[in-house]
Structure 1
Amino acid sequence: MSIILMGIKHCGKSTQGRIISKKLSVPFFDTDDVIFEMTGKTPRQIYTELGNEGFQEAEEKACSFLLEKINSSAEKNAVIATGGGICGNKKALDVLKKIGTFVFLKTPERIASFRVLREISVAQDGTILNVPAFIAKKNPRSVADAKKIFHDFFIERECIYEQLADVVIDMSSSSKEANAAKIIESVSSKV
């Protein structure tokens, strides 16, 4: 059974995925990397050029590719880090459900907000730069606006992830290694 990591942007999915894959000696995949390998474009570029529908189609194709790859391997196990918006892509989720266990990496809002908002910068003319697409589409006029938009987004997404998850891991108070061990133990007890 594969481990499928999900959660808000910058919650540690890729970091945990790499640690867990090493501990279990199984392959690690990041759906955003698979999308790039398949299209030559980053998820952000696809989203900007083709909108949400085009991005979700690319994400579903990446997940279908992983399903085939994992099913054709001898071990049939892997660790997969998903993009932060996978929770809104039913077709991709349906594919991933055939692969393994959904693990929600629950990160405190203050940590997630800091990690997302630290990338934002403000140009001399006041233009906000490096804003994630899910915030940019709400047209924030300031970093404070972006923070409020993120708060609302975080609350909504956390509820969705909790409903989808087979396992919920609180990522707030442990080291990376300890969190990886918690994830492995929790998934093992589910199988």
Structure 2
Amino acid sequence: MQGNKSMKKCIVLMGIKHCGKSTQANFLSEYFKIPSFDTDDLIFELTGKTPRQIYTELGEEGFKNAEKSACIELKSRLEKIQQTENSKKYIAVAATGGGICNNAEAIKLLSEIGILVFLNADERTAANRIVKEVKIDVDGKLFNLPAYIAKENPRTISDVRESFHKFYVERQKIYRSICNICVDMKNAPKSENRDSIIESLSKTE
């Protein structure tokens, strides 16, 4: 891709886990007739491991490296799409992992190729979605938790909610500081939230 203008044609969706990134990426892909990508999927394609497995085995730095590699791969794929879709306003949409806001190198790459859209989810809604996925083994230990909560070793659902609250507040500040657009996700039909994203994008044109 040549020039800064052409480097801004990807809609990059960001936000905490369960804010609706993957769902909205699919909606926007269908609406704009453009391909949809997911950095977590790209990580798996490149490594054969899920983000959670990489985080567990290699730690935070190992995961950040994998996430950066996924963003490099995304940029490469967009360059190929750009060669045939140069006339389109947007050439792709990409959903990112919930913790990508703490990966400065990945954010730099994404800011070069796209418009960073922060999907601002209500804390209670996001927390309920995380709690819904929690499982308890025969010894009463909680598992199937996001890595950033699991490392806090929560013993109860109340602990999970408390840990999530701290991360929610922290990540809200970071995402607001790095995004180009902030869209409040409503407790409404998914198509209504899609329309809010599209409306916010139109205001940047």
Q: What TM-score range do you get, normalising by the shorter chain?
A: over 0.9
Identity of aligned residues (%): 50
Q: CA RMSD in A?
A: 1.1
Counterpart of 1:103 in structure 2: which amino acid? V
Larger mean CA deviation between 105-114 and 133-142 belongs to 133-142
Match for 2:57 among 49, 52, 55? 49
1:169 aligns with 2:183: yes
1:107 aligns with 2:121: yes
Match for 1:87 among 84, 90, 101? 101
Query: What are the equivalent positions in structure 2 for 1:6-45 lying under 5 Å apart?
Result: 6-45=14-53
Unaligned runs of at least 5 residues, structure 2: 1-8
Match in the other structure for 1:137? 151
Q: Contact (CA 8 Å) 2:149, 2:164: kept in 1 or not?
A: yes
Q: Contact (CA 8 Å) 2:22, 2:38: kept in 1 or not?
A: yes
1:51-95 superposed Cα distances (whole Å, 9 cap, x missing partner)? 111111011011011111102222262100000000000100111
Match in the other structure for 2:171? 157
How far apart are residue 30 of structure 1 and its match?
0.6
The CA distance in 2 between the partners of 1:174 and 1:121, in whole Å, is 27
The CA distance in 1 between the partners of 2:132 and 2:188, in whole Å, is 22
Query: What are the equivalent positions in structure 2 for 1:121-132 lying under 5 Å apart?
Result: 121-132=135-146
Counterpart of 1:49 in structure 2: which amino acid? E
1:64 aligns with 2:77: no
Q: TM-score, normalised by structure 2?
A: 0.90
Counterpart of 1:105 in structure 2: which amino acid? L
Match in the other structure for 2:12? 4
> Secondary structure at the residue paired with 1:102?
strand
The CA distance in 1 between the partners of 2:94 and 2:30, in whole Å, is 13
Match for 1:75 among 63, 85, 91? 85
Q: Contact (CA 8 Å) 2:43, 2:66: kept in 1 or not?
A: yes
The CA distance in 1 between the partners of 2:188 and 2:115, in whole Å, is 22
Larger mean CA deviation between 169-178 and 51-60 belongs to 169-178
